[in-house]
């Protein structure tokens, strides 16, 4: 059978009698991959498996040991065996051993279930021994590639997890959490559990997110822009120093800072052209991150169109200097903060 999706895998695991005896899990979304390793283990070995019903193998074992574990008869009083092979590199395996395992994959006995999974490594299955193995599992069982989830999928996952805990979360606020935390699913789950523990049976609000969610560096750089536009350059410099101590480079900071001011420009251009911000966000591909344009519009009210153009020009010049001169990038960034604050202050006066 061909590769299947996560939803199809979930349905197979729920099935009383799954129609396959071999699984291959690989891909970049490691949190989901590990989740389904545990689901499959509970399905085939039970919640408290015995030493004989569950066999775990690693690179320390030979391919022949994998084969023997799959085809060994179950122990006394055990009617099934679950064999999980994790992060195994089949590249150096001898042709005879590998061919033996591959030929046996289509003949696995009913009492055995084999899972080959990669929860820590990400080997290529494009060629060689790994491709031969993948093709064999595809014909006899189930292959799942746990690809990185899209932003929309991450948002829906957060809403789903919240519902499981009897807590309400709308997808727009879920998008805000993703924007603040990044796309690491494990980190997102930890932040959501913190919010759910705080709300218990209530509804997660935007205020809860602002209060409790730990922001990633990009979100903190947006705070730098907010400090500048509110006339607090000291707070902006303080935030920059924190970011640099956290291994963020001045180049990465100015890139995000420029993006924030570009959002102000896009929001203003849309409104001056008679377009709503929601419509502009859809047209520009912001998705549920439409709040980014809303936030930029609110912050940008402090700047006239000429001040905005001057600010964008200052950012562009500083970025060029960082890339073409020997000047200290941190000093250039601090000078930029002073210049952007001055532009805002001159307009206010």
| Residues with Cβ within 8 Å of residue 72, at least 6 apart in sequence | 81
CA distances from 267 to 249, 290, 308, 348 (A): 28, 10, 12, 21
Per-block average pLDDT, block size 10, for the chain (349 residues)?
74 70 90 88 76 82 91 71 91 83 90 91 86 91 86 88 93 87 81 91 91 79 86 89 85 89 90 87 77 81 88 93 88 93 75
CA distances from 143 to 110, 135, 300, 337, 346 (A): 19, 9, 49, 52, 62
**Residue 209 near residue 180 (C-beta atoms within 8 A):** yes
| Residues with Cβ within 8 Å of residue 210, at least 6 apart in sequence | none
The alpha carbon torsion through 79, 118, 186, 223 (nearest 10 deg) reads -170
Question: Residue 109: helix, strand or coil by DSSP?
Answer: coil
Q: According to the model, what pLDDT value does residue 18 have?
A: 60
Give the integer Cα–Cα distance in Å for 317 and 44: 62
Domains and CATH numbers, the chain: 6-145 (3.40.50.300), 151-212 (1.10.8.60), 217-348 (1.20.272.10)
Q: Model pTM greater than 0.85?
A: no
Q: According to the model, what pLDDT value does residue 87 have?
A: 93
Q: According to the model, what pLDDT value does residue 16 have?
A: 54
Give the integer Cα–Cα distance in Å for 62 and 164: 41
**Residue 133 near residue 13 (C-beta atoms within 8 A):** no
């Amino acid at each position: 059978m061909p590769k299947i999706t996560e939803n199809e895998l979930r349905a197979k695991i729920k099935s009383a009698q799954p129609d396959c005896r071999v699984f291959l899990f690989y891909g970049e979304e490691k949190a989901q991959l590990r989740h389904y390793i545990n689901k499959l283990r509970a399905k085939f070995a039970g919640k408290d498996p015995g030493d004989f019903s569950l066999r775990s193998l690693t690179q320390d074992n030979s391919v022949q040991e994998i084969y023997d574990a799959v085809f060994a008869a179950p122990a006394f009083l055990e009617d099934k065996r679950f064999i999980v092979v994790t992060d195994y590199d089949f590249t150096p395996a001898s042709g005879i051993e590998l061919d033996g395992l591959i030929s046996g994959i289509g003949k696995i006995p009913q009492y055995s279930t084999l899972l080959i999974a990669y929860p820590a490594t990400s080997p290529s299955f494009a060629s060689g021994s790994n491709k031969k193995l993948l093709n064999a599992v595809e014909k006899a069982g189930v292959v799942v590639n746990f690809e990185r989830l899209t932003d929309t999928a991450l948002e829906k996952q957060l809403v789903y997890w919240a519902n499981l805990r009897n807590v309400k979360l709308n997808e727009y606020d879920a998008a805000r959490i993703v924007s603040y935390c990044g796309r690491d699913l494990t980190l997102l789950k930890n932040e959501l559990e913190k919010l759910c523990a705080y709300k218990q049976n209530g509804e997660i609000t935007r205020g809860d997110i602002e209060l409790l969610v730990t922001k990633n560096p990009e979100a903190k750089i947006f705070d730098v822009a907010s400090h500048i536009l509110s006339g607090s350059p000291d707070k902006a410099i303080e935030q920059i120093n924190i970011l640099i101590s956290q291994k963020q480079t001045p180049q990465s900071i100015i890139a995000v800072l420029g993006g924030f001011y570009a959002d102000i420009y896009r929001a203003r251009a849309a409104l001056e052209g008679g377009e709503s911000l929601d419509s502009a966000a859809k047209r520009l591909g912001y998705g549920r991150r439409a709040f980014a344009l809303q936030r930029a519009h609110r912050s940008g009210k402090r700047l006239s169109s000429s001040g905005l153009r001057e600010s964008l020009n200052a950012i562009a010049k500083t970025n060029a200097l960082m890339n073409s001169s020997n000047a200290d990038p941190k000093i250039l960034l601090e000078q930029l903060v002073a210049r952007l604050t001055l532009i805002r202050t001159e307009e206010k006066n």
